[in-house]
Amino acid sequence: RRLSPQVGGRIADRVFDITRTFPLALDVGSGRGYIAQHLNKETVEKLIQVDIAENALKNAVESEIPTVKVVADEEFLPFKEDTFDLVVSSLSLHWVNDLPKAFREIHQVLKPDGVFIGAMFGGDTLYELRCSLQLAELEREGGFSPHVSPFTAVADLGHLLARAGFNTLTVDTDEIQVNYPGLFEIMEDLQGMGESNCSWNRKPLLHRETMLAAAAIYQEMYGNSDGSVPATFQIYYMIGWKYHESQAKPAQRGSATVSFGDLAKIEGLLKRGKK
Interaction site with ligand SAM (CB under 6 A): 4, 8, 29-32, 34, 51-53, 56, 73-75, 90-92, 95-96, 193-195
The vertex-72 CA angle with 48 and 200, nearest 5°, equals 115
Nearer to ligand SAM, 29 or 240 (CB): 29
CB of 272 vs ligand SAM, minimal distance in Å:
56
| Residue 180 vs 243, nearer CB to ligand SAM | 180
Please state at what angle helix 154-163 crosses helix 99-109, rounded to 10 degrees.
40
Q: Which is nearer to ligand SAM, 3 or 215 (CB)?
A: 3
C-alpha span between 207 and 180 (Å, rounded): 22
Distance CA 240, CA 169 (A): 5
Q: What is the dihedral sign for C-alpha 217, 215, 124, 76? A: positive
Least distance in angstroms from the C-beta of 161 to ligand SAM = 18
Q: Is 200 helix (H, G, I), strand (E, B) or coil?
A: helix
**Nearest residue (CB) to ligand SAM, 94 versus 130:** 94
Give the C-alpha distances (Å, rounded to integers) separating 35 from 71, 101, 160, 199: 17, 23, 24, 24
Q: How far is the CB of 35 from ligand SAM (least distance, A)?
A: 6
Residue 5 beta carbon to ligand SAM: minimum distance, rounded to whole angstroms: 7
